A and B are shown apart, each in its own frame.
Chain A
Amino acid sequence: MQSKRQTCSVSVYNEETNTISTYHVPVDAIAGALAEHASFDVPLDDFHNRVDDDFARRLGGMVLLTLASRSQFLKDHLSITTERDPEGPPSD
Chain B
Amino acid sequence: MRVELFNYGRYRYMLCGPSDLSPRERYETELDALAAGAKLFADRNERHWASQPEVVARIRTFIKESIPWHLSGMWEDNPREVVTCLCRCVLDGSVVILRAERASSYAARSKAHRDDLKAYNQAIDERIARAASALKPFRHVETIAEAGARNCAARAASALLTSVASAMPARNDAFDLGEVTDAGSRATPLGDAAPFEYSPSEPGGDLLSIAARGVSESHEAECFAKYEIDMDLCSAGGAMFQSPAYYMACKARAFANYQQCRGY
Chain A residues contacting B247 (CB-CB under 8 Å) are 40, 86-87
Are A37 and B250 touching (Cβ within 8 A)?
no
- By size class, the interface of chain A is 20 to 34
Give the residue of A36, A42, A61, A80 whose beta carbon is less than 8 angstroms from that of B257.
A36
Chain A residues contacting B207 (CB-CB under 8 Å) are none
Are B257 and A37 touching (Cβ within 8 A)?
yes
Closest to A81 in B: B240
Query: In the complex, A83 Cα to B240 Cα: how many Å?
Result: 6
**Is B137 engaged at the interface, CB distance under 8 Å to the other chain?**
no
**Is A59 engaged at the interface, CB distance under 8 Å to the other chain?**
yes
Chain B residues contacting A80 (CB-CB under 8 Å) are 240
9-residue interface stretch from B101-109, B182-190, B197-205, B228-236? B228-236
Given A38-B253, A40-B250, A65 and B242 contact (CB-CB distance below 8 Å): no
- By size class, the interface of chain B is 20 to 34
**Is B244 engaged at the interface, CB distance under 8 Å to the other chain?**
yes
Chain A residues contacting B234 (CB-CB under 8 Å) are 38, 40, 86
Chain B residues contacting A61 (CB-CB under 8 Å) are 236, 239-240
**Is B214 engaged at the interface, CB distance under 8 Å to the other chain?**
no
**Is B196 engaged at the interface, CB distance under 8 Å to the other chain?**
no
Main secondary structure of the interface of B (DSSP, over half): helix
Quick one: CB contact mask for A40-81 with B, threshold 8 Å, 1 for yes?
A: 111000100000000001110111111001100000000010
Given A40-B246, A86-B247, A65 and B236 contact (CB-CB distance below 8 Å): yes
Given A66-B232, A70-B232, A41 and B249 contact (CB-CB distance below 8 Å): yes
Give the residue of B229, B246, B253 whose beta carbon is less than 8 angstroms from that of A42.
B246
**Is B100 engaged at the interface, CB distance under 8 Å to the other chain?**
no
Chain B residues contacting A9 (CB-CB under 8 Å) are none
Are A62 and B237 touching (Cβ within 8 A)?
yes
Chain B residues contacting A63 (CB-CB under 8 Å) are 236
Residues of B within 8 A of A (CB): 226, 229-230, 232-244, 246-247, 249-251, 253-254, 256-257, 261
| Contact sample, A vs B, 7 pairs, CB 8 Å cutoff | A36-B226, A37-B229, A38-B254, A62-B236, A65-B235, A66-B236, A83-B242
Extra inter-chain contacts (20) besides given A40-B233, A58-B240, A86-B234, CB under 8 Å: A36-B226, A37-B254, A37-B257, A38-B230, A38-B251, A38-B254, A39-B233, A40-B234, A40-B250, A41-B249, A42-B237, A61-B236, A62-B236, A69-B232, A82-B240, A83-B238, A83-B240, A86-B238, A86-B244, A86-B247
